[in-house]
Structure 1
Amino acid sequence: MKMKNLFGFLSFVSVHAISGALYEQAAINVVENVGPLELLSLPSEHFIQFSHPEIRGLSARIKKSQFCDGGVDSYTGYIDAGTRHLFFYFFESRNDPDNDDVLLWTNGGPGGSSSTGLFMELGPCNIAGPNSTKYNPHSWNSNANIFFIDQPVGTGFSYADFGETVVSTEKGAKDVAKFMALFFETFSKFKGRPLHLTGESYAGRYLPLFGAAIYDQNAELKSKGLTPVNLKSIVIGNGATDFFALVKSYYDVQCTNAVIEPLQSIGECVQMRLALPRCEKMQKLACIDHFDAMDCEAAFWFCFNALGTPYLRLGRNPYDMSMRCPVNHHLDCYPEQPNIETFLSQKWVQKEIGVDPSFGNFSSVSWDIYFAFWASRDPLHQNSHYVAELLERGVRVLIYAGTYDWIANWVGNERWTKEMVWSGQAGYVKEQLVDWSVDGHVAGKVRSYGNFTFATIYGAGHLVPHDKPAESLAMLNRWLAEEEL
């Protein structure tokens, strides 16, 4: 199994080259501002740049951008961290923007643009074709203000002045944490508003570290007389929080009735079952007891080749086991994706959102980011430790998973949530999975204890808001209201 193919699954993107990714910031008219700002006062013709003397090494640019048929005010901008520039979209809530919570959404990868989440899953508008968008009645901004961010640098419309790349989630987390502090400090009406970090796929790696960086940064903000960021929760969908738990579960989802029916022959399942003990032993020695980067990577690929490669030969969609899509042509099952890239490559769209005229065709994937992250072995680190520490500090965590996903399946995600060591582990494990419903129909199963919740969504694959929009919005709205699912 080549790493490129694995990356394609985790980021949900197509293969295109990035052109024109480097350009001069000065090409876009920017007016500097120091002090509080109001969103309604922002122009659409140029960016307003904002910064704070106590939040060093980072500023941001923002403007109005009416490009999405979403029924609300929308904004775009860049987070400027030295020579690194992260692109973002921001949409106000359809309900009560002056009081509703704030969400930040990121897609996976590493290197996958959040345009997929915006235009194909949970944004105010869905892609309607290569030239237009349409209103999404199930957008996650129904009761929340929401950011979509292209990160790390080099992803989507994000860029670096000299082509540098961020090679680890830890480094990217610091930029996101600083920006959240700057945003809440600058736009005073949002100050103290609850923040929820949301995302899917490789966001299972991103978000626990983003949350830790934001939480730990609050001590510094307080010491400087600034308002701490009110980190309320983390929401991860079909996440890659624990790669090994996912890979080991490939046996379960192919050879048992965990999802539909056994997909593999008895002979294939016997070979997979025999490989499991060696996989677990290699993982324990090289990745858990003592982390050795090279040995851990070798363990990962042994496990993946033994347990994952058989699935790839079936011709099924890695994002949805109920669909048949050849592994190298999985976009045949999702025609929206090429339309998103065509739409965002058009000059009138790029002008409206403030992208430099020298930027070329938009691509949903950065292979440079992918290779940089794998070179640093970023995907091999377990992240449940960060989830546990956030839970201990009162941050709420929701892990949800579409039951038809293969690559980041519900079995593996449930497994690590039960194995994670924290003060509520015994109580959490003791709780049974019970039904949760939407409009009188069972939507999935849920287990909850204290501030930790795990939920499944029946009939959904990797992209839950795309596959089950009404159910995913109901889940989010109940979570924001702190109600039981």
Structure 2
Amino acid sequence: MSPCRRVAIFTLLPLIWIASSAEQSPLLLTPLISRNELLRARNLSLVGSLDGCDNPETYSGYLTVNETTNANLFFWFIPAMNTSPTAPVVLWLQGSPGSSSLFGLFVEHGPYEVTKNLSLQPRASTWAKSFNMLYIDNPVGAGFSYVSPDGHARNFSDVGRDLFIGLQQFFTLFDEYGENDFYVAGESFAGKFVPALAHEILRNNLTAKMNLQGIIIGSSLCDPPTMMSYADFLLNLGLISEIQAKYFKRQERIVLESLKENDYVKAFEVFSELINGNRVNRTKSYFQRKSGFSLKFNALQAKEPEAYNYFKGFLKLNGTRQALHVGNASFNDGLTVRQSLKGEMMKSVKPWIEEALERRLKVLIYSGQFDIIVPYPLSRSFVNSIGWGGAQAFSEARRLIWRNETTGEPVGYVRQFGVLTEVLVRNAGHFVPFDAPRQAYDMMDRFINNKAFGRSSRMIRTSPTRAKQ
């Protein structure tokens, strides 16, 4: 059954608009979970009617991860539409840092997408078709998640710990999914949160209640020391001149020197001025000023698509807030989260990715062909630098053409050996599932279900070090 019917929101929710969600408190499930009142917790967390959507079994609410700092993670769980009892569970984390994972749900791969008039329509290539999708606003203070002013995460370990505590509660509340394969996925800066969480799960494998099988990282600056070479990429695209490329290279050297001196704040400030921009004081980067691009996510798009932001208006509606049990919680823009993690932004998470590979977890690292902020050549440089037992064989692996099975058109290119898979998605930018939704779903299906990308594609499956005894 389609998850939505195309009906105007104002005709479906007149009664919900009467009650103001500001009069209610967020639904905190942790007290119920701790008292083993699991059935009551699940019943309370059932998501209400959303714009006429047929969603009889999606759940949302809050998981308390630190009582002292009043740290609460907001989640939305969407069971697989194929109703398979063994469908894998996929946790999705958004980047920036501080962006809501509901961007992923509404803009990229959830069962619904928001239209310009703030109504919902079904998404054809939703990942929820085959996977149990869990979206968590992370770190605390991002999106609908909230925390006291002094409780924000200061490093990746804080982020991994909070997520791990939240997931333990989630798999207690939904214990029938505890044996299902579990994957942690994220894009952009969340590509650093993903291995941080995997490390925490592996470190606590005796007490974890999750069957971690792999991690999925999209378009992420995982290892700045091996990824600081924007000049040639942008010059070859024609987006900067030779003189501007020289400036890029000078600034890149300053970033690398700062990283060697462990001055991560300076490295981030120089990087931001060069290409990333500053969200706090709203200043444009050197790249944006010289190229005329206000967007840094896709070489084919100079301006941000309006569709990126429709969901924010939808989340402001009283009916939506009431259905999601967020009560009077604010929807945060993530700037405070970003400031709290400023000293971490340019740190590498390569050791945790190497740990995942050595522990036989499957690892997928994917990139969009036209991504500007994390270009494919930079991602390839990082992947080539990963130290693990299969590194030599991976470097010698033949690049495969990944084709549309119906038309035969190349949709991407793949390198694969053992448990490591690297994918380039054609005609996509930073947000691959938004730019290329069919390819993104096909990529996930092939990777998770061990299907070949090409004629010679073969993933060697060995049992990972399970997180559950």
TM-score when normalising by structure 2: 0.82
Q: Counterpart in 1 of 2:378?
A: 412
**Are the structure 2 counterparts of residues 430 and 85 from structure 1 closer, same or farther at C-alpha, using a change threshold of 3 Å?**
same
User: Which among 269, 293, 302 is matched to residue 324 of structure 1?
Assistant: 302
Distance 1:410 1:352, change over 3 A: same
How far apart, in 2, do the equivalents of 1:307 and 1:126 lie?
30
* DSSP 3-state at the match of 2:322: helix
Q: Is contact 1:124–1:139 with CA below 8 Å preserved after alignment?
A: yes
- Which of the numbers 219, 238, 241 marks the counterpart of 2:222? 241
User: Could you list the per-position Cα deviations for residues 389-426 of structure 1 after superposition, in whole angstroms to 9, with x for gaps in the alignment?
Assistant: 01100110000011111012211111111011122111
Contact 2:30/2:63 (8 A) holds in 1: no
How far apart are the structure 2 equivalents of 1:71 and 1:458? 33
Q: Is the 8 A contact 2:88 2:181 kept in 1?
A: yes
1:461 aligns with 2:429: yes
Same amino acid, percent of matched pairs: 23
User: Which of 54, 65, 69 is equivalent to 2:48?
Assistant: 65
Q: Which residue of structure 1 lines up, in the alignment, with residue 349 of structure 2?
A: 383
| 1:262 and 2:238 aligned | yes
Which amino acid in 2 is paired with 1:391?
L
Q: Is the 8 A contact 1:104 1:148 kept in 2?
A: yes
Alignment of structure 1 residues 267-278 onto 2, 5 Å: 267-273=243-249
CA distance in 2, matches of 1:339, 1:279: 36
Question: SS at the partner of 2:90?
Answer: strand
Secondary structure of residue in 2 paired with 1:219: coil
Report the Cα distance in structure 2 between the residues aligned to 1:119 and 1:145, rounded to whole angstroms.
16
Q: Is the 8 A contact 1:215 1:229 kept in 2?
A: no
Deviation at 1:129, TM superposition (A): 2.7
5 Å matches for 1:214-253?
214-221=201-208, 228-246=209-227, 248-253=228-233
> Which residue of 102, 111, 114 corresponds with 2:89?
102
Q: Residue 104 of structure 1 contacts residue 149 of structure 1 at CA under 8 Å; is this kept in 2? A: yes
Give the superposition deviation at 1:449. Answer: 1.1
Which residue is equivalent to 1:445? Answer: 413
Q: For residue 32 of structure 2, what is the aligned residue in structure 1? A: 32
Q: Secondary structure at the match of 1:218?
A: coil
| Residues 287-436 of structure 1 aligned to structure 2 (within 5 Å) | 292=262, 295-302=263-270, 305=273, 309-313=285-289, 314-316=291-293, 317-325=295-303, 333-356=304-327, 358-359=328-329, 362-363=331-332, 365-374=333-342, 377-436=343-402
Q: 1:346 to 1:277 in 2, by over 3 A?
A: closer
Q: Distance in 2 between matches of 1:299 and 1:32?
A: 45
| Structure 1: distance between partners of 2:214 and 2:149 | 35
3-state DSSP of counterpart to 1:323: coil
1:484 Cα offset (Å): 2.4
Judging changes above 3 Å, is the alpha-carbon distance between structure 1 residues 253 and 398 closer, same or farther for their aligned structure 2 residues?
same
Shift of 1:281: 4.5
Partners of 1:359 and 1:36 lie apart in 2 by 24
Deviation sequence 1:240-292 (CA, Å, 0-9, x none): 2123444x231132123xxxx33222232344445555654553x32xxxxx3
Instruction: Write out per-residue CA displacement over residues 326-370 of structure 1, whole angstroms, 9 at most, x where no aligned residue.
Output: xxxxxxx321233211110111111111111x345x35x221111
Q: Which runs of 5+ in 1 are unaligned?
A: 1-20, 48-61, 222-227, 287-291, 326-332
The alpha-carbon deviation at position 30 of structure 1 amounts to 9.5
- Pairs within 5 Å for 1:147-158: 147-158=134-145
Check whether the contact 1:404–1:459 (CA below 8 A) recurs between aligned residues: yes
Q: Which has the higher strand share?
A: 1
Tell me, in whole angstroms, the C-alpha distance in 1 between the residues paired with 2:220 and 2:292: 23
Distance in 1 separating the partners of 2:214 and 2:329 = 35
Aligned to 2:282: none
Q: CA RMSD in A?
A: 2.8
CA displacement at 1:167 relative to structure 2: 2.0
Matched to 1:337, the amino acid is Y
1:85-234 mapped onto 2 (5 Å cutoff): 85-160=72-147, 164-221=151-208, 228-234=209-215
**Do 1:23 and 1:161's aligned partners in 2 also have CA atoms closer than 8 Å?**
no
> Does the aligned pair in 2 maintain the 1:177–1:210 contact within 8 Å?
yes
TM superposition shift of 1:178: 2.2
Cα distance in 2, alignment partners of residues 23 and 213 from structure 1: 37
Say whether the 8 Å CA contact 1:401–1:462 is kept in structure 2.
yes
For residues 442 and 27 of structure 1, do their structure 2 counterparts lie closer, same or farther at Cα, with a shift above 3 Å needed?
A: closer
- Alpha-carbon distance in 2 for matches of 1:342, 1:307: 29
| In structure 1, C-alpha distance between the alignment counterparts of 2:326 and 2:183, rounded to whole Å | 27
Larger displacement relative to structure 2 (175-184 or 89-98): 175-184
1:89 alignment partner, SS class: strand
Of 160-169 and 393-402, more deviation after overlay is shown by 160-169
Task: Tell me the SS of whatever aligns to 2:398.
Answer: coil
The separation in 2 between residues aligned to 1:76 and 1:192, in whole angstroms, is: 21
1:304 CA drift (Å):
5.7
C-alpha spacing 1:28/1:150, structure 2 compared with 1 (3 Å)? closer
Cα distance, 1:322 vs. partner? 1.2
Q: Separation in 1 of the partners of 2:108 and 2:54?
A: 13
2: distance between equivalents of 1:70 and 1:32? Answer: 27
Q: CA deviation at 1:441?
A: 1.4
Aligned partners of 1:213, 1:334: CA distance in 2, in Å?
A: 36
- Measure, in 2, the Cα distance between the counterparts of 1:321 and 1:126: 24
1:378 is displaced (CA, Å) by 1.3
Indicate the SS of the match to 1:64.
Answer: coil
CA contact (8 A) 1:235 1:399 kept: yes
| Partner-residue secondary structure (3-state), 1:405 | coil
Secondary structure of the structure 2 residue equivalent to 1:32: helix
> Is the 1:237–1:400 Cα contact (8 Å) retained in structure 2?
yes
Counterpart CA distance in 2 for 1:403 and 1:192 is 36
2:444 to 476, 480, 483: 476
The answer to whether the 8 A contact 1:22-1:163 is kept is no
